Structure 1
Amino acid sequence: MIKNYFTYYSQKYASKWLVLVIDLVSVVTTFLLAYLIRFNFTLDFDKKQLLVQVPITLFIASVSFLSIGSYKSVIRHTGLTDVINLFKSVTLMTFMAVFLVVSNRIIELIPGFTIPLSIIVMHALLSFMVLSASRFLFKALYRYVKCRFITSKKILIYGAGDSGLVTYNALVNNVKTRFEVLAFIDDNEKKVGKKINGVPVLSFKEISLAYLKINQIEEIVVATQHLDTSKLISLIDSLIDSKVKITKVPPIEKWINGELNTSQIKTVQIEDLLGRAPIQIENPNLLNEFRGETIVITGAAGSIGSELVLQLSHFDTKHLVLIDQAESPLYDLQQELHRKGKYNFTTIVADIRDGLRIDGIFQEFKPTMVFHAAAYKHVPLMEASPYESIKINVNGTKILADISSRYNVKKFVFISTDKAVNPTSVMGATKRLAEMYISCLQKESKTKFITTRFGNVLGSNGSVIPLFKKQIENGGPLTLTHKDITRYFMTIPEASQLVLEAGTMGKGGEIFIFDMGDSVKIYYLALNMIKLSGLRYPEDIDIQITGLRPGEKLYEELLANGENTLSTYHKKIMISKTRELDYDKIKSDIEALCITNRFQNNNIVLKMKQLIPEYKSNNSDYEKFDKRSKVYKKEQDTVNNQIDKTFINL
């Protein structure tokens, strides 16, 4: 209640006009004080002349304040700029007074009006001092009252540089919440031990759990713009047993009009803990690559597809054709593009398995580029439905690639996955088959077929991060299939940038992969998410190990057996050199696989294993085919050994 009254009355009555009146009163007071000082604090001066001088001085001061606008500043946020404006006002007032006095001596406009120059100079100095001091006094009084009646939130700021200082000012000047900054944390030993605005600078080593508890620290704001990811992870790990919240200041380019607002300080996101710097692609050739192109995007309403659409919408494309069979998400994407003022696109509800429908779309729009993101991607679901997985991931890709080739599309960019590498699941195997088919098609087509292969995408539909967030919201536990499971991660924008870059640099037949740094242990990811949510493990949220799901790997790979890489002009992007294929046989076998009966799941998997020798099922019913082949191979080896021995004896 007191807080609300204080905020209301300070905003209502501390108006700019009240500030102007106070400033004018201060000017008159200092003018009288200057007279007293000039005459040794006696009244031995002409009182009648003073009665003429005061109104004129008041008028001159009014003109100078109104001209400069120094009275318009918010007093409780007084800073250097406001002091400079006061200096300008006082300087203008002084020059006007001197000019009027000198002019009156030459041409007597105001009878009896004269002011000793010594008084004008003293008045200028006193006015500047009093006006500046009054503002800082009010600012201090405001903070004092705020401290007395508003509960403070004790925080630390990580980073004692320029960004840290801006963060400090934004926090201490916040109207709604009182922040008490107890210390800065900095890794620069030259800054440690010093003070900024009276606040000490400490090293990271000094921030112990005991320090946090004694000082009742509630939050640490990471203000530095260049904090190493490993340092951030180390900070979170060191606070795992405390209730201290960790927040982060956004990049400078995202500040509002170059100024930081406390509402922009957000909780550290899991994307900040990838264990590597975000991959940035700045290729000016992208502008020319997509200018005037008609581009088809399949799976346009999905996580990757929709981001791809949003990024392409910023280029000078001729037309975007957005295809998806998910009606509602496609409608949402359409509305989002309209909100952004984009209209050179067409949304089409269609199934990529419908060859006649897709052919009709190509005939109508005559696309020059295709980005193929439509796919079934959930490993356990596809393990139970090999036929459905083949229909979409292989046959859907085949139909789309064949039509693209028939209509002489310039480039066809296929979005694959690291699960296609040495696959252990039906889903991974179908994506590998799709890679193989478009490689075969490359040999007989004018279209440049390009594949991008990357790891898990943070925040995509059905990925682990949204699942963990939902489980945390529901009070837990977090479900984890294995404590040692690891994955490569990238953000949705990163994945989309890779696809666009592949569309630019690809010459046809390449598989592009990212240098994604080290893989991330999902168990540690879960612990960090619990911590970032302001909770503790296992007191607040537990982690439950459920066991590997059918077809799931403990770790993912970016290269298959027999593959190596070639570098590109971007150090984070490489080209996978795949093993040689018998293209004619592979192509005909995949075509035959696409017309397999839906009730022949076992036959489908057996044929996939024949086509992909490195496909070994894991934690799946289809492991029996691998074991059978191992037994058969062992029996064959035994027979061959016996034959060899017979020949030796002979």
Structure 2
Amino acid sequence: MNQLVTSALQLQPRLRRALIIAMDIVMVLISVPLALALSLSNLSFDPFSWTGLAVWAGVGVFSHFLFRFGGLYGTVWRFASTPDFFNIISNCGILTVALYLTSQAARLYTPMTGLNERQFIVFFLVTFTMISAPRLLYRYLREGTGWQLGAKRNDRPGHRRALFVGQLEDADHIIRFTNTEKEKTQIIGIVATEPNVNTRDKIRGVSVVAVWPEVSGIIEDYAKDTKRVDLLIFGGGGQTDLSKFSELVRVARKGGIEVLQFSGFSKLRGGAALVLQTVEMETILRRPAVPTDLERIRAFIDGKRVLVTGGAGSIGRNLVRRSLELGCEAVLVADQSEFGVFKLEQSLSEDYCERLTCRIVDVTDKAQFTRIVSEFKPDIIFHAAALKHVPLLEDNWVSAVKTNVFGTLVCAEVAAECKVPHFVLISSDKAADPTSMLGLTKRGAEQIVNSLHFSERIRTRDKGPKPIYISVRFGNVFGSDGSVATVFEKQIMAGGPVTITDREMTRYFMTMGEAVDLVIMAAAESATRRDIDNFGIYMLDMGQPVSILTVAETMIRLAGKQPHQDIKIKFTGVRPGEKLHETLCAEGELLVSLDVNSLFGLKTGLFGWQEVRRALADLRDSIDDDDKDAAVDRLRQLYRTIDDAGPVAEEVIPLKVAT
């Protein structure tokens, strides 16, 4: 029987539909004599006469047109739901009523007996059974135990119902874990992606409902059903191992099913939890997320006092949340956005808020920033406060210099004065070979921190532990505030068009989770480096650059639309300061592999602190003169290659720098 089902699945859609139509006609023709026999009808005319046979054939032809226009052949019957069977009832009911009225009209011209309401009631029941039975049988043979997925008698109240797609080993771990009361996810079906698995198998009582490559049809059918599945969970490696991964995500999202990626278990603050991540980034990159050394970053953050500038921004607030998750003693957020701080506090749990302090602060105000650092006494400062939008900063270059350069100077200098052990600047790939004001100011900020790092280590070489000042350089964070992903999402929701500057443009991308954990990992790694092999700049491995056009097209498909058809894509031209292709490491910089996954050390030419002071003084003069060209020239001079040695060794950092 299963071989027959398999053969039917391999038929062309038109031929398969023709067979279904022929089957329905045959079933109706069988239902007529069967209903007469079951109702013990005694007809007054010979049913095998030419007239009787003509009427019998006419019933079959009429039922065909009725079922066709009644929508009986527009249903995917491998997962028929209650409305589909109601449609069968409606069509059979209309057929029965039509035949009954026809018989009543025929009595006006030809007296007949043996046909009354009883025969037509039996005919309705027999026809419904004969039409429905093959479809139910097909569905059962196609999905085996999978058709029981819709049954909710074993549901746990308040739990989200999930369909798992992946290896049985991952399924076993997840089902075992979700069976605990603390997890609010219930796995109710498995789609196996490995060979030699059949739909009769069960893992901890959960049925295998389908095997690869049938998953596309199964997910589409469940998505069309009435809220039977809330989640679609992919096992580890799904985004790289499954050829139709992007299409499966699109189908599920279009049907209102949330899609998550299983990437292991976390063990934070004495407990454990499933790590389920959204799949948009992996769908676009076709690569797995960078695995996190949770034990190491937890050991680094646990018990520390953490200050995050720009803590209400997208990267900042995720650093705040992650620090709280990893067990820090307290977090201080310094941000000038009142509304951003309010939203951050509202998004955190009560337990986290007990360890959170927020201050509305402009990081360029040295007196105010010194006061909060002196009071809070942080062990580490994550400096994420910055202006970052390329086109806006080309016109507002003064604000870019004041915030990104002098704001970094204030924060780093205060950290030195207040003897903060660790300072981490969040930098950008646009600092490599910069062509924009954002890139120039970020590179200037890197040079400030780099000079401070090595000058301080020289100043304190005979005085015990040395303070650490580092920059972490990486590219675009997918989904951060104002990123291309959020812009595209709004444009898609509005019906388009999606605007791209150039069809050839590429960018480096990583997920927010990857970026935040690797920033913390860079800080943890820098704390272990000796003087002979330490770095002032670290760079994250961003993988391969991704086409912005590909990002747009993928996001449109994930939204259930077709790019260039349902949603138009418009090319607007490269804006001032933008590059077609970014680089993470510039010419004259040396990239050094570390024993840390996806993390590199970056060596560049050094400036002595006195040189930095002179360059910043000239830069301040350019701002006072409102001379953008002079400011750009000063920022370009604040860079040298690794072969250029600066007079760092003989300098001691002055702790009072006018800003």
> Shorter-normalised TM-score: what interval?
0.5 to 0.7
Does the 8 Å contact 1:297/1:320 carry over to 2?
yes
Is 1:599–2:626 an aligned residue pair? yes
2:594 is aligned to 568
Does the 8 Å contact 1:294/1:319 carry over to 2?
yes
- Do the aligned partners of residues 266 and 196 (structure 1) sit closer, same or farther apart at CA in structure 2, a change above 3 Å counting? farther
1:190-238: CA deviations, max 9, x gaps?
33x776589885543x789xx8999998599865412442345644369
Deviation of residue 273 (structure 1)?
3.5
CA distance, structure 2, for counterparts of residue 203 and residue 467 of structure 1: 35
Is 1:349–2:360 an aligned residue pair? yes
1:328 is aligned to 339
Does the 8 Å contact 2:472/2:538 carry over to 1?
yes
1:373 is aligned to 384
Is 1:449–2:476 an aligned residue pair? no
Is 1:436–2:483 an aligned residue pair? no
Deviation of residue 408 (structure 1)?
1.6
CA distance, structure 2, for counterparts of residue 295 and residue 386 of structure 1: 30
Task: Select 1:363's aligned residue among 355, 361, 374.
Answer: 374
Does the 8 Å contact 2:538/2:600 carry over to 1?
yes
| TM alignment of 1:313-324, pairs within 5 A | 313-324=324-335
CA distance, structure 2, for counterparts of residue 562 and residue 305 of structure 1: 30
Deviation of residue 407 (structure 1)?
1.7
2:306 is aligned to 295
CA distance, structure 1, for counterparts of residue 212 and residue 555 of structure 2: 26
Does the 8 Å contact 1:247/1:268 carry over to 2?
no
- The one-letter code sitting in structure 1 at the alignment partner of 2:239 is T
Is 1:161–2:161 an aligned residue pair? no
Deviation of residue 497 (structure 1)?
1.2
1:22-65: CA deviations, max 9, x gaps?
xxxxxxxxxxxxxxxxxxxxxxxxxxxxxxxxxxxxxxxxxxxx
CA distance, structure 1, for counterparts of residue 299 and residue 265 of structure 2: 27
CA distance, structure 2, for counterparts of residue 307 and residue 431 of structure 1: 21
Task: Select 2:394's aligned residue among 358, 383, 403.
Answer: 383
Is 1:459–2:465 an aligned residue pair? no
1:590 is aligned to 616
1:609 is aligned to 636
- Do the aligned partners of residues 433 and 203 (structure 1) sit closer, same or farther apart at CA in structure 2, a change above 3 Å counting? same
Is 1:427–2:461 an aligned residue pair? no
Deviation of residue 189 (structure 1)?
3.7
CA distance, structure 2, for counterparts of residue 239 and residue 338 of structure 1: 30
Does the 8 Å contact 1:453/1:513 carry over to 2?
yes
Does the 8 Å contact 2:497/2:570 carry over to 1?
yes
Query: Which deviates further from its counterpart, 222-231 or 264-273?
Result: 264-273
Task: Select 1:554's aligned residue among 546, 559, 580.
Answer: 580
1:230 is aligned to 240
Does the 8 Å contact 1:275/1:520 carry over to 2?
no
Identity of aligned residues (%): 31
Deviation of residue 457 (structure 1)?
0.7
CA distance, structure 2, for counterparts of residue 337 and residue 242 of structure 1: 29
Does the 8 Å contact 2:253/2:559 carry over to 1?
no
- The one-letter code sitting in structure 1 at the alignment partner of 2:518 is L
TM-score after normalising by structure 2: 0.59
Is 1:482–2:477 an aligned residue pair? no
CA distance, structure 1, for counterparts of residue 355 and residue 164 of structure 2: 46
**SS of the residue aligned with 1:313?**
helix
CA distance, structure 2, for counterparts of residue 382 and residue 536 of structure 1: 34
Query: Which deviates further from its counterpart, 425-434 or 308-317?
Result: 308-317
- Do the aligned partners of residues 214 and 563 (structure 1) sit closer, same or farther apart at CA in structure 2, a change above 3 Å counting? closer
2:412 is aligned to 401
Is 1:190–2:196 an aligned residue pair? yes
For structure 1, list consecutive stretches of 5 or more residues without a partner in the other structure: 1-138, 147-154, 171-179, 615-650
What's the C-alpha RMSD, in Å, of the aligned pairs?
4.3
Deviation of residue 396 (structure 1)?
0.6
**SS of the residue aligned with 1:305?**
helix
**SS of the residue aligned with 2:290?**
coil
**SS of the residue aligned with 1:320?**
strand
- The one-letter code sitting in structure 1 at the alignment partner of 2:635 is M
Deviation of residue 470 (structure 1)?
0.8
CA distance, structure 1, for counterparts of residue 211 and residue 451 of structure 2: 62
CA distance, structure 2, for counterparts of residue 489 and residue 384 of structure 1: 26
Does the 8 Å contact 1:252/1:258 carry over to 2?
no
Task: Select 1:521's aligned residue among 547, 557, 565.
Answer: 547
**SS of the residue aligned with 1:371?**
strand
- The one-letter code sitting in structure 2 at the alignment partner of 1:225 is G
2:425 is aligned to 414
Does the 8 Å contact 2:305/2:330 carry over to 1?
yes
Does the 8 Å contact 2:303/2:327 carry over to 1?
yes
| TM alignment of 1:299-314, pairs within 5 A | 299-314=310-325
**SS of the residue aligned with 1:479?**
strand
Task: Select 1:493's aligned residue among 485, 504, 513.
Answer: 513
1:57-107: CA deviations, max 9, x gaps?
xxxxxxxxxxxxxxxxxxxxxxxxxxxxxxxxxxxxxxxxxxxxxxxxxxx
Deviation of residue 358 (structure 1)?
1.4
Does the 8 Å contact 2:262/2:276 carry over to 1?
no
- The one-letter code sitting in structure 1 at the alignment partner of 2:563 is Y
- The one-letter code sitting in structure 2 at the alignment partner of 1:188 is E
**SS of the residue aligned with 2:592?**
strand
Does the 8 Å contact 1:248/1:265 carry over to 2?
no
Task: Select 1:578's aligned residue among 590, 600, 604.
Answer: 604
Deviation of residue 588 (structure 1)?
1.8
CA distance, structure 2, for counterparts of residue 550 and residue 577 of structure 1: 29
- Do the aligned partners of residues 161 and 392 (structure 1) sit closer, same or farther apart at CA in structure 2, a change above 3 Å counting? same
Deviation of residue 402 (structure 1)?
1.2
CA distance, structure 1, for counterparts of residue 342 and residue 616 of structure 2: 34
- Do the aligned partners of residues 218 and 485 (structure 1) sit closer, same or farther apart at CA in structure 2, a change above 3 Å counting? farther
Runs ≥4 residues deviating over 6 A: 139-146, 162-168, 197-200, 211-217, 238-244, 252-255, 257-260, 264-267
Give aligned pairs, total.
Answer: 450
Deviation of residue 535 (structure 1)?
1.4
For structure 2, list consecutive stretches of 5 or more residues without a partner in the other structure: 1-145, 154-161, 179-187, 461-466, 642-659
Does the 8 Å contact 1:387/1:604 carry over to 2?
no
| TM alignment of 1:259-270, pairs within 5 A | 268-270=279-281
CA distance, structure 1, for counterparts of residue 278 and residue 353 of structure 2: 32
**SS of the residue aligned with 1:579?**
coil
Deviation of residue 515 (structure 1)?
1.8
- Do the aligned partners of residues 579 and 354 (structure 1) sit closer, same or farther apart at CA in structure 2, a change above 3 Å counting? same
Does the 8 Å contact 1:218/1:244 carry over to 2?
no
1:541 is aligned to 567
CA distance, structure 1, for counterparts of residue 219 and residue 305 of structure 2: 61
Task: Select 1:248's aligned residue among 259, 262, 266.
Answer: 259
Does the 8 Å contact 1:390/1:430 carry over to 2?
yes
CA distance, structure 1, for counterparts of residue 276 and residue 635 of structure 2: 51
**SS of the residue aligned with 1:435?**
helix
Does the 8 Å contact 2:430/2:439 carry over to 1?
yes
